[in-house]
Amino acid sequence: MSKQAKVIEIEEVAIRFSGDSGDGMQLTGTLFSDTSAIYGNDVSTFPDYPAEIRAPQGTVGGVSGFQVHFGHTRINTPGDYCDVLVAMNPAALKANFRWVKPDGIIIFDADQFDEKNIEKAGYNGDPFEIEDVSGIQVISAPISTLTKESLKDVGLDPKSILRCKNMFALGIVSWLFDRSLEHAIKFFNTKFAKKPLLVTANTKVLYDGYYYAETIEAFGSTYKVKPADIEKGIYRNINGNSALAWGLMAAAEKAGLQLFCGSYPITPATAILEELAVRKDLKVKTYQAEDEIAGICTAIGASFAGSLAVTTTSGPGLALKGEAIGLAVMTELPLVIVDVQRGGPSTGLPTKTEQSDLMQALFGRNGESPVVVIATSTPSNCFDYAYMACKIAVEHMTPVILLSDGFLANGTEPWKIPDLNDYPDIKVPRVAADTPNWQSYARDPETLARTWAIPGTHGLEHRLGSLEKMNLTGDVSYVPENHELMTQLRDQKVQKVAKDIPPLEIIGDEDADLLVIGWGGTYGHLVSALTEVRREGKKVALVQFNYINPLPLNTKEVLSKFKKHLVCEINLGQFANYLRMQFPEYQYRKFNKVMGLPFTVKDLKEVIIKNLED
């Protein structure tokens, strides 16, 4: 019967794969999203890792999820709610039922919904009687049993057989949305090249899941999402951490410098270090330090020696690096500090997203030690802002803090592979050997940047200030007037960067009363909410800040165009407070969320409409 299932064309769909942390939901979601991207859909993903390390199996605390939103049109977010939830156990249902659309589909592994697992998930009865599933199509599939039956003669041990059940679920969903199995099979052949038995097992289970969905009568329809009309080019699906690492490497190549990364592993930034560590073919040097302080100090040493130096971390690590960042400010060495923000404070919610480090990035050092602060806003533009962070650090001889967040770091979207010829040159302020009368802190009058001399170069022997440096020479100084001069120069030097950053662009209606203001990774949700509000005939505008310190030169001009200003951020109002410090003549309304989750378009739309009507 289901072979004659009705084919329904839809514009977009969101699917959430969810199960225990050992059920392979991240891989399942990644394979499905990659397949959709290859097909030509626009895609946005949101991996949702458990906050607890090794949480008890079958509990809500151990649930791992992966949501993929793909469509025929531009996709800016992973979706507020899912059209399809794949729940591999009762805990997955408990954790994610609230995110299922009222007319959605739930596909669950019936084998795992026994009394023991139902109790471990926190239910005191049948989950489908406790939850309001009216209007939702509930598909019961004995996924574990069918996986065992599929592989009973393959020769794998029972534990390895059950690990393949995620591919049975992938087969079901692939049939439901007319997805090819080719990419997943290619992945098996690459991943398990030395274990052909695993290639055979995963391939067989994948096909069996696909044909199971085709033959059962539960699905009355299949769904087709046409490819998106996007700019031609070579694309790949990329997450923010990978894009950021590649942006760093691209900048090093453009500048003709060797890239060095000294870091201590910390969630969710570790993948940047891992991505760089495998690129010895590009002469990248990485050092996994024993702690955060050692990580940044090795990077400062590499910068002193003439490398393009980077250190990566998250909020707690940024706090530990504070004193060394001050050293980089004093010595005026180029350094990029990547902070992939997470929930906090301290270990708090190490896998969850937040924008909680802004004030720390701006002011988290002793004394007057300003640095440039930049924020990425999509997984793919992590490449662009990593490149620009390096360009600014080198050309202005200053530390730059580059802010990403857990949502961007792990989320993916299609990325058009760029041509480096389209990116601006990076001019390295190297001083030529034997330059007469050279002084280590003589400055370019336009940028106030000093020149960069490599230690050991004949005729360029020099000192870098420590406690405080004498202007021009770098000698240690205790002169009060000199300290004030150097303090002012540090501030002026950062403000000079404003001339090299692009102006703010207004998205939407310039004649609107309300300006919505965002920064960093909230962009996708904000622009989606703006689009929906304007589609209803209401006027509203948006600006998204990527350059935080200094702010774009036209910031005040943009703010002055609007009567009302609504700042939306994933914290308690840090950017709103920063804007109030810079431009106190305006009132800033705030909409904040601190749940370890990104905004939803629904909530943003409601708050925008409310502020339009106030």
Q: What's the token pair of residue 65?
A: 């999820």
**Distance (Å, whole) CA 42 – CA 60:** 31
Is 344 within a domain?
yes
Inside any domain, residue 406: yes
Same domain, 188 and 249: no
- When pLDDT is averaged across residues 111-126 and rounded to a whole number, the result is 96
CB atoms within 10 A of CB 355: 25
Report which of 139, 144, 185 is spatially closest to residue 20, judged by C-alpha positions.
144
What phi and psi, each to the nearest 5 degrees, are found at residue 514?
-105, 130
Amino acid identity at 536: E
Q: Tell me: the pLDDT tens digits for 300-327? A: 999 999 999 999 999 999 999 999 999 9
**Structural domain includes residue 462:** no
Q: What is the tens place of the pLDDT at every residue in 330-352?
A: 999 999 999 999 998 877 778 89
* 488 vs 580: CA distance, rounded Å: 22
CATH code where residue 195 lies:
3.40.920.10
* Chain-centroid distance, C-alpha 606: 25
CA 481 vs. chain centroid, Å, equals 44
Domain stop point among 189, 224, 259: 224
CA 163/CA 158 separation, integer angstroms? 9
* 3-state secondary structure at position 442: coil
Q: 178 and 249: one domain?
A: no
Contact 206, 170 (CB under 8 A): yes
pLDDT in tens, 417-435: 999 999 999 999 999 888 8
What are the tokens at 261?
């990364």
Query: Do 399 and 511 fall into the same domain?
Result: no
Is a pLDDT exceeding 60 seen at residue 2?
no
How far, CA to CA in Å, does 600 sit from each of 7, 526, 592? 30, 9, 12
Give me the percent of the chain exceeding a pLDDT of 90. Answer: 89
Judge whether 123 lies within some domain. yes
Claim to verify: residue 244 and residue 316 sit in the same structural domain: yes
Q: How confident is the model at residue 459 (pLDDT cuts 50, 70, 90)?
A: confident
Closest CA to 306 of 432, 454, 441, 428: 454
Q: Is the pLDDT of residue 181 over 90?
A: yes
Q: What is the pLDDT of residue 4?
A: 64
Whole-number Å distance between alpha carbons of 9 and 225: 6
Let me know whether 515 and 395 are in one domain: no
Residue 428: how many other CB atoms lie within 10 Å: 16
Number of domains forming the structure of the chain: 3
Task: Let me know whether 417 and 562 are in one domain.
Answer: no
57 in the same domain as 176: yes
The answer to whether residues 159 and 210 belong to one domain is yes
Mean pLDDT of 55-71: 94
Average pLDDT, the chain: 95
Confidence at 463, pLDDT banded by 50, 70, 90: confident
In terms of residue numbers, what domain contains 571?
A: 507-613
CA count, 13 A, side-chain hemisphere, 82: 25
Q: What is the largest CA-CA distance in the chain?
A: 89
Q: Is the pLDDT of residue 416 over 70?
A: yes
List the beta bridge partners of residue 341.
405
Residue type, 375: A
Does residue 444 fall inside a structural domain? no
Residue 451 within a domain: no
Q: What is the DSSP string of 379-407?
A: TTTHHHHHHHHHHHHHHHT-EEEEEEEHH
Calculate the CA 75 to chain-centre distance. 16
Residue 439 vs residues 304, 328, 461, 471, 485: alpha-carbon distances, Å: 16, 18, 9, 9, 17
295-308 in b/e form (b: 16+ CB < 10 A) is bbbbbbebbbebbb
Domain boundary among 224, 248, 273: 224
Tell me: do 78 and 153 sit in the same domain. yes
The DSSP annotation for 549-591 comes to: ESPPTTHHHHHTT-SEEEEEESSSSHHHHHHHHH-TTS--EEE
The yes-or-no verdict on residue 94 having pLDDT over 80 is: yes
Structure tokens at 561: 């165009």
CATH of the domain at 240: 3.40.50.970
In this prediction, residue 232 carries a pLDDT of 86
Would 498 be classed as within a structural domain? no
Mind listing the pLDDT tens digit for each residue in 194-227? 999 999 999 999 999 999 999 998 888 899 999 9
For 351-371, write each residue's pLDDT tens digit.
899 999 999 999 999 989 999
Q: Give the tens place of pLDDT for each residue, 257-277.
A: 999 999 999 999 999 999 999
**193 SS3 class:** coil
Burial class (CB in 10 A: 0-12, 13-18, 19+), 513: middle
CA nearest neighbour of 516 among 574, 600, 591 = 591
**Four-residue CA torsion sign, 99, 105, 111, 116:** positive
Please check whether residues 254 and 196 belong to one and the same domain: no
Query: CA 331 to CA 472: how far, in whole Å?
Result: 12
504 pLDDT higher than 90: yes
HSE at residue 222, side-chain half, CA atoms within 13 A, is 21
Contact 326, 307 (CB under 8 A): no
- Higher-pLDDT residue of 477 and 334 is 334
Whole-angstrom distance, CA of residue 587 vs CA of residue 564: 7
**392 and 511 belong to one structural domain:** no
Is residue 428 in a domain?
no
User: Is the pLDDT score of 3 beyond 60?
Assistant: no
pLDDT score at 1: 39
Q: Looking at the predicted structure, is the pLDDT value of residue 105 above 80?
A: yes
**Given 224, 250, 282, which residue is the final one in a domain?**
224
**Whole-number Å distance between alpha carbons of 431 and 461:** 12
Examine the domain organization and report whether 267 and 384 are in the same domain: yes
Establish whether the linkage from the previous residue to 268 is cis, with ω within 30° of 0: yes
Three-state DSSP class for residue 103? strand
Among 66, 77, 63, CA closest to 598 = 77
